[in-house]
Structure 1
Amino acid sequence: MFFNLNSNKMFFYFILFFSTLISVSANSWLGCWIGLEINLLSFIPLISNSKNLLSSEAALKYFLTQSIASINFLFSILLKMIVLKNFEINNLISILINSSMLMKMGSTPFHFWFPNIIEGLSWFNCFILMTWQKISPMILLSYYMNYNFLMIIMIFNVIVGTMGGINQTSLRKLMSFSSINNLGWMLAALMMTENLWIFYLMMYSFLISIMCFFFNMMNIYYINQLFIMNMKFSLKMFLLINFLSLGGLPPFLGFFPKWIIINFLIMNKLFIISFIFIMMSLIMLFFYIRIMYSSIMFNYLKMKWFKNFMKNYLLLIMNTLSMISLLGMIISTFMFM
């Protein structure tokens, strides 16, 4: 396998998968809370590693933040059971429930734990935390949404995710701020239709899985490794295509879900929000292109001995994935006709 998983870890990943299904398919708020707790307790053994202090610290931080969010969620649902008819208190309860779900996802303004925890994880666990761990909180969020509150949150997500990633040298932190930025787009999709949110999540999961797979294969964790490593030009172009697709540059594949969301925002006359989303996407593309421009143009003669050998079937997989991202050009031709 591309990611080294033993039988014990596979068991915990199995529980992680079913805990999400429990929380999504529960008939009561208490059942949702139980599913979230099982999810929390199954993910901690996966990220903790006695040989790595960063992983142990990440597991402890993750446990503490998720426990606070779970306590807040449990308090909110108990308060909802006691107070049924008071409109003002119901509005406060909806904000509390939304806040606890946003904290579980690592959304702004509860995002401070998210980049620090990602820094101590393997690339496979980073992928799980950035994609799968967002599913159950997002679906629970859709049950009891406070639209005015979430409108502000999604704008802050897009801004903070963009500004936080500008001066990062760690690729894992860069991906975490990119995840916060994309979370703003996901919230916008969720507030429109659930089908659009599912489509955006699937596209984002596909693109982020390509990036995590590539970085795991090349054993890359920091931006300067892209400059130093003597990679083939085709691999650098593969990385550039996927960075541009993740940033949402037309006509790549990652542009389509963002284009649909912007279309919905304009149809609902939310012009200022759509303008903010587009401007933040341009800034994201700026520092993605800055990274790739430097890695393609810089030439470290002293490091020419440091070769990177990759098996042919891995190169074939990466070329296939980059071709899928380029398929966006063909689809865009038919969509805009």
Structure 2
Amino acid sequence: MFMTFNFNKMFFLFILFFSVMISISSNSWFGCWIGLEINLLSFIPLISNNKNILMSEASLKYFLVQSLASINLLFCILLKMSLLKNFEMNFFISILMNSSLLMKMGSAPFHLWFPNIIEGLMWFNSFILMTWQKITPMILLMYYFNKTFLIIIIIMNSIIGALGGLNQTSLRKLMAFSSINNLSWMISAIMISENLWILYFSLYSFLISIMCLLFSMMNMFFINQLFFININYLIKLMFLINFLSLGGLPPFIGFFSKWIIINFLMNNNLILLNFVLIMMSLILLFFYIRIIYSSFMFNYLKLKWIKIKIKNNLINYLNYFSFFSLFSMIISTFFYL
């Protein structure tokens, strides 16, 4: 499993789940802010560890960044309540509030804390930070966003997420920059429809969970471990399917939600935005394929003293689902035509 569960961890995970429910079901901005604060205070004990300096450092950085974003959000809420009829100030408040929420989810240009903190976490905590911790800020962003500002943020996320992962040797940092790139697609989905965002986020969380589970079971944190460890070719095939699906290569399941977003953006005449998203996804696919190609082709026989075989039916079923989604994509294409 990702981590050894005990009562304390389960308790904080429950509070983490409960805090998101508070924020998304609240009918006031103060209720949303309280839910965010509970979320912060419940996630810190999950990632902190006195025996690991990197995890302690990551928890401190996370606390400082999230506290700063919360202060900005609270300031925006108070400002909005006091200057409700001033339309000129509303534009400034919307940008400031959007910036606070984008900082909370690790979006560019407020992304510098995100890869550094993930580098100090275990795979389970990284999975929570890349998926569950983005739910509340993104839903709050749906309530009050500035379209022009978000289009600029989408382009920045797409470019930084693609170019930032090119020279990374750490798998956690690589997944962090991949998350930043996927965030551009999620924000695009927010601008289109809430149901589309739910679809994209669900598929992204599913693929990320498989990748983090595989890396956790094999205790992998760096790319060169894929070359030095004697891995079964079926496991390498699982990596191939999930990496290509995460990059959005057709006809894998990860392309399905991106395909819908591309169609909506084309219908709304956002052709330049569509072009940037597609081109940056190609760069993302480039370094995914580079990892897979290297792990398949490099053969260090003298160095492979560790042999790994995964006997877990759940992993096999999840990967078979990703693989057989090829056929559903092909069928859906015919229906679309």
Fold equivalence (TM over 0.5): yes
**Paired residues of 2:229 and 2:305 also in contact (CA < 8 A):** no
Aligned alpha-carbon RMSD (Å): 0.9
Please state whether the residue corresponding to 1:301 is helix, strand or coil: coil
Aligned amino acid, residue 94 of structure 1? S
Given the alignment, which residue of 308, 322, 326 partners 2:323?
326
Distance in 2, Cα, partners of 1:200 & 1:261 = 9
> 1:183: which partner in 2?
183
> 2:308: which partner in 1?
308
Distance in 2, Cα, partners of 1:256 & 1:330 = 12
Aligned amino acid, residue 226 of structure 1? L
Aligned amino acid, residue 254 of structure 1? G
Distance in 2, Cα, partners of 1:304 & 1:83 = 65
**Paired residues of 1:199 and 1:257 also in contact (CA < 8 A):** yes
Distance in 2, Cα, partners of 1:24 & 1:319 = 34
> 2:224: which partner in 1?
224
> 1:95-244, aligned counterparts within 5 Å?
95-244=95-244
Aligned amino acid, residue 161 of structure 2? G
Give how far 1:2 is off. 4.9
> 1:277: which partner in 2?
277
Aligned amino acid, residue 122 of structure 2? S
Give how far 1:330 is off. 1.0
Give how far 1:85 is off. 1.2
Per-residue CA deviations over 1:279-310 (Å, capped at 9, x if unaligned) read 11111101100011001100111123322243
**Does 2:48 align with 1:48?**
yes
Please state whether the residue corresponding to 1:302 is helix, strand or coil: coil
Per-residue CA deviations over 1:122-151 (Å, capped at 9, x if unaligned) read 100000000000000001111111000001
Moved more, 159-168 or 321-330: 321-330
Per-residue CA deviations over 1:149-201 (Å, capped at 9, x if unaligned) read 00100111011000000100000000000000000000000000000000000
**Paired residues of 2:72 and 2:100 also in contact (CA < 8 A):** yes
Per-residue CA deviations over 1:18-75 (Å, capped at 9, x if unaligned) read 0010011111111111000000000000000000000000000000000000000000
Q: Give the 4+ runs in structure 1 shifted more than 4 A.
A: none
Give how far 1:336 is off. 1.4
**Paired residues of 1:238 and 1:318 also in contact (CA < 8 A):** no
Task: Name the % identity.
Answer: 67
Per-residue CA deviations over 1:226-265 (Å, capped at 9, x if unaligned) read 0101001111111111000000000001010000000100
**Paired residues of 1:19 and 1:38 also in contact (CA < 8 A):** yes
Aligned amino acid, residue 263 of structure 1? N
Give how far 1:86 is off. 1.3
Distance in 2, Cα, partners of 1:141 & 1:38 = 18
Distance in 2, Cα, partners of 1:18 & 1:305 = 45
**Does 2:2 align with 1:5?**
no
Distance in 2, Cα, partners of 1:70 & 1:92 = 17
Please state whether the residue corresponding to 1:289 is helix, strand or coil: helix
**Paired residues of 1:50 and 1:56 also in contact (CA < 8 A):** yes
> 2:22: which partner in 1?
22
Distance in 1, Cα, partners of 2:10 & 2:332 = 41
Moved more, 63-72 or 267-276: 267-276
Distance in 1, Cα, partners of 2:323 & 2:274 = 25
Please state whether the residue corresponding to 1:319 is helix, strand or coil: helix
Structure 1 residue runs without a partner (length 5+): none
Give how far 1:335 is off. 1.4
Distance in 2, Cα, partners of 1:189 & 1:2 = 30
Give how far 1:319 is off. 2.4
Aligned amino acid, residue 84 of structure 1? L
Distance in 2, Cα, partners of 1:210 & 1:25 = 29
Distance in 1, Cα, partners of 2:85 & 2:307 = 68
Give how far 1:328 is off. 2.4
Distance in 1, Cα, partners of 2:93 & 2:16 = 28
